[in-house]
Amino acid sequence: MTSTPEPDDRLIGAHDLAVAALKEITPASTIGPAAGYLVEDDGSVSLRFENRLPGYPGWYWTVTLARVEDAEPTVLEVELLPNDGALLAPEWVPWAERLAEYRAHQAELAEQAAASAAEAGEADSAESDEEDVDSDEDDDDLDDDDLSDSRVLHAGDLDGVDIDELDDSAEDLEDSDEDESDDDESDDDEE
């Protein structure tokens, strides 16, 4: 069984030294009144001071002091430490684990999207089936009068234009092209 060493009164009373060490790392306005001490296993003493930094409720400035035999106290460490119930950052998670969690979440979202799309597709196909039934019923409602109003195309007509009637100039161009090609062939034969 280990016993805690007796606290050194000179270390407990070294508040001025502790505050001077704190002022080297933080403005004096962030240092509050003394809030107790803790005797460490090696005989050093950690003096605590209230913290006035915004965003750090429940945290204390801690200055650890020690001394060797009859020497003056000296500062070992200055830090901001949380008290019980202080707001803390979450545990650190390695990148590989975070990436695996992210990928699993993305796969889950993709499955949900696919399921939603499938449900929407089923709903759309049900609606289109209903529309097909409605359009079939509409076709049944057509009578001969409705058909007589529509434009009926006859052979050789395209939207009422007789495609058999060509422009005479187009025929002349075709004939002249044929004549030129015949002339070219005859010139080649003569050579």
pLDDT at residue 60 is higher than 90: yes
**Domain-embedded: residue 189:** no
pLDDT at residue 155 is higher than 90: no
Query: Average pLDDT of 108-129?
Result: 82
**Domain-embedded: residue 148:** no
**Domain-embedded: residue 104:** yes
pLDDT of 7 reads 77
Q: Which structural domain, as residue segments, surrounds residue 54?
A: 9-82
The helices-and-strands tally (H runs, E runs) of the chain is 5, 6
Domain count, the chain: 2
**Domain-embedded: residue 174:** no
Are residues 51 and 111 part of one domain? no
Are residues 43 and 25 part of one domain? yes
With beta carbons less than 8 A apart as the criterion, state whether 61 and 26 touch: yes
Are residues 119 and 69 part of one domain? no
For 102-144, give the DSSP string. Answer: HHHHHHHHHHHHHHHHHHHHHHHHHHHHHHHHHHHHHHHT--H
**Domain-embedded: residue 179:** no
What are the tens digits of pLDDT across the range 4-33?
677 788 888 899 999 999 999 999 999 999
Give SS3 for 172: helix
Tell me which of 13-22, 31-40, 163-172 is least confident.
163-172
Are residues 72 and 107 part of one domain? no
**Domain-embedded: residue 143:** no
Are residues 73 and 26 part of one domain? yes
If you search the block for the tokens 């500062």, which residue do you land on? 75
- Residue 105 and residue 111: Cα distance in Å, rounded? 10
Are residues 75 and 115 part of one domain? no
Are residues 76 and 15 part of one domain? yes
Are residues 104 and 74 part of one domain? no
**Domain-embedded: residue 65:** yes
Are residues 76 and 36 part of one domain? yes
Are residues 111 and 69 part of one domain? no
Query: Average pLDDT of 60-86?
Result: 91
Domain boundary among 36, 65, 82: 82
Are residues 113 and 59 part of one domain? no
**Domain-embedded: residue 124:** yes
